[in-house]
Amino acid sequence: MAGIKTLGQFIIEKQADFPYAKGELSRLLRDIAIAAKIVNREVNKAGLVDILGEAGTVNIQGEDQKLLDVFANNQFIAALTCGGECCIVATEEEEDFVPIDSPVSKNAKYIVCIDPLDGSSNIDCNVAVGTIFSIYRRKSVDGMATIADVLQKGTEQVAAGYVIYGSSTMLVYTTGKGVNGFTLDPSIGEFCLSHPNMRVPSEGYIYSINEGNYVHFPEGVKKYLKYAQVEDATTNRPYTSRYIGSMIADIHRNLIKGGIYLYPTTSSSPNGKLRLIYECNPMAFIMEQAGGVASDGFNRILDIQPETLHQRTPVFIGSEKMVKMAEKLMREYSPQKPLLNKESTVAIKLNGTDQIPHKIITG
Ligand code: AHM
Ligand code: MG
């Protein structure tokens, strides 16, 4: 019988891929994994203790925070503060980034961006939720790190991953050399390598979208949904519709089985709902590393220059052929228009393909 490989062993083994690595990134990943185990423990007993329900506070997005949101946020910040490898934590739950101002951390070379508990509106009904993280190298050379260290394009990510607290708990991550998945064995308290070298099929058969918003979708998305429902054996159509409403769970399933996850713009969310830095960039990095594609409908997610910490973006992510088809229909039926938000960054199309980032200021 083959022996198990723990996440810790795997990380140390992979450190050799980075000849000048001093172990900081490995320690950072270890810190995140420890915090994830603590959050997992709490999520698992959510129905047993008085931890369900509203915290009575509202986060920067104007959403009610759940107690577990707050708990997870605090756990990750605490673990990253103690670890000393990261100088800033930017989290979906905090308005501003959190500088780690300890003598060790302030010169640390990594920035961590995190959505501590994504899909938390599902907690009360026992649906899978997750943590999403990404790691960047600090750009500034001395003093306290700044906002510019956080507002980096997704292409600059050094590592990204997610933890899914589901029927089993898994940690999936990439450092830009493929994607590996680890399942938590509760009997030994270790994440064990269970899904080495994860690859997404290039043609899937699942589409995931909140179809209740159909009337508000751009025409290109409506056309894609009609395309998904037409019979054509050569392309696995009609596709199967699966939508959990918990991004990590939906993308994790599609990554394994092949599929597309869409959260487009809607008339009520003209920039989309999901956040570029905390949700879309890390999932895009993972999906690309698994052989898939992540787009905002027109451009590669990882190429978008973030302008603000909590910037949102539409997202089309998953199997290559499915995302390419959705992009084609978007170009055909929903040519890109300037967004109406004060802070929106849009790409202007030049000669059909070239794009430059452009900030639209209105009002
Ligand atoms: P959250 O970060 O507030 O939890 O919101 C993100 C979640 C995603 O996990 C999920 O895919 C999406 O919101 C669901 O949105 P909707 O309910 O509009 O379909
Ligand atoms: Mg989220």
43 and 187 together in one domain = yes
In a domain, 340, yes or no: no
Residues 176 and 236 in one domain: no
Q: Do 221 and 136 fall into the same domain?
A: no
Which of 147, 175, 195 is the last residue in one of the domains? 195
Pick the more confident residue, 77 or 2.
77
Instruction: Tell me what pLDDT residue 353 has.
Output: 32
Phi, psi of 360 (to 5 degrees): -95, 120
Q: Which of 16-30, 113-127, 190-204, 227-241 has the lowest mean pLDDT?
A: 16-30
What pairs with residue 164 in β-bridges?
A: 130, 170
- Phi–psi pair at 113, nearest 5 degrees: -110, 135
pLDDT of residue 56: 60
Check pLDDT > 70 for residue 361: no
The protein residue whose alpha carbon is closest to atom 17 in ligand 1 is 245
Task: Establish whether residue 66 lines the binding site of ligand 1, counting it when its CB lies within 6 angstroms of any ligand atom.
Answer: no
Q: Is residue 72 part of a domain?
A: yes
Mapping DSSP to helix (H, G, I), strand (E, B) and coil, where does residue 33 land?
Answer: helix
Whether residue 346 has pLDDT greater than 70? no
Amino acid at residue number 316: F
The tens digit of pLDDT for each residue in 306-322 reads: 999 999 999 999 999 99
Give how far Cα 77 sits from Cα of 28, 38, 115, Å. 12, 13, 11
Ligand 1, atom 16: closest residue by C-alpha: 245
Mutate which of 54, 73, 247, 261 for ligand 1 pocket (most atoms within 8 A of beta carbon)? 247
Residues in the chain: 363
Q: Is residue 1 very low, low, confident or very high in pLDDT (cuts 50, 70, 90)?
A: low
**What angle, 0 to 180 degrees and rounded to 10, lies between the N-to-C axes of helices 24-44 and 67-83?**
150
CATH number at residue 62: 3.30.540.10
Asked if residue 222 and residue 190 are part of one domain, the reply reads no
Q: Is 13 in the pocket of ligand 1 (CB under 6 A)?
A: no
- Of 59, 66, 64, 130, give the one whose Cα is nearest residue 94: 59
Q: What is the pLDDT of residue 263?
A: 98
Query: Could you tell me the end-to-end alpha-carbon distance of the chain, in angstroms, rounded to an integer?
Result: 66
Average pLDDT over residues 4-9: 93
- For residue 304, give the CATH number of its domain: 3.40.190.80
pLDDT at 6 over 80: yes
Q: Where are the beta strands (DSSP E) in 35-168?
A: 54-58, 64-66, 86-91, 98-99, 110-118, 129-137, 157-165
15 and 84 in a single domain? The answer is yes
Residue with tokens 């879309």: 280
Domain boundary among 167, 195, 223: 195
β-strands 259-263, 315-318: how paired? antiparallel
Does residue 361 form part of some domain?
no
- pLDDT exceeds cutoff 50 at 114: yes
Q: Say how many Å lie between the CA of residue 273 and the centre of ligand 1.
A: 7
Closest residue (by CA) to atom 2 of ligand 1? 118
Answer yes or no: is pLDDT of 88 > 60. Answer: yes
Query: What is the reported pLDDT for 122?
Result: 84
Q: Give pLDDT, residue 341.
A: 43
Structure confidence at residue 37 as a pLDDT band (50, 70, 90): very high
Does a structural domain hold residue 251? yes
Q: Is 255 in the pocket of ligand 1 (CB under 6 A)?
A: no
Helix (H, G, I), strand (E, B) or coil at 2: coil
Domain shared by 54 and 168, yes or no: yes
Residue 38 lies in a domain: yes
Q: Examine residue 247 and state whether it is found in any structural domain, yes or no.
A: yes
Domains identified in the chain, total number: 2
Distances (CA, A) of 193 to 5, 6, 32, 185: 6, 6, 16, 10
Cα 38 from Cα 232, distance rounded (Å): 46
Are residue 294 and residue 161 in the same domain, yes or no?
no
214 and 191 in a common domain: no
Distance 302 CA to ligand 2 centre (A): 18
Regarding whether 139 and 77 lie in a shared domain, the answer is yes
User: Quick check: CB of 119 below 6 Å from ligand 1?
Assistant: yes
In this structure, the answer to whether residues 67 and 128 fall within a common structural domain is yes
Q: Which of 195, 219, 248 delimits the end of a domain?
A: 195
Higher pLDDT, 172 or 104: 172
CB burial of residue 101 (10 Å; 0-12, 13-18, 19+): exposed
* 349 occurs within a structural domain: no
Q: In this structure, are 135 and 223 located in the same domain?
A: no
Residue 125's pLDDT is: 86
Q: Which atom, in ligand 1's list, is nearest to the CA of 118?
A: 4
Of all residues in the chain, the percent with pLDDT exceeding 90 is 70
Domain assignment of residue 139, given as a range: 7-195
Residue 135 token pair: 């790691």
Please determine, for residue 348, whether its predicted confidence score (pLDDT) is greater than 90.
no
Question: Is residue 201 one of the residues assigned to a domain?
Answer: no
pLDDT, averaged across the chain: 87
pLDDT, tens only, 160-216: 999 999 999 999 999 999 999 999 999 999 999 999 999 999 999 999 999 999 999
Separation CA 69–CA 71 (nearest Å): 5
Q: Which pLDDT belongs to residue 360?
A: 31
Are 159 and 174 within 8 A, CB to CB?
yes
- 133-145 average pLDDT score: 90
Q: How confident is the model over 290-315, as a mean pLDDT? A: 97
Q: Do 107 and 234 have their domain in common?
A: no
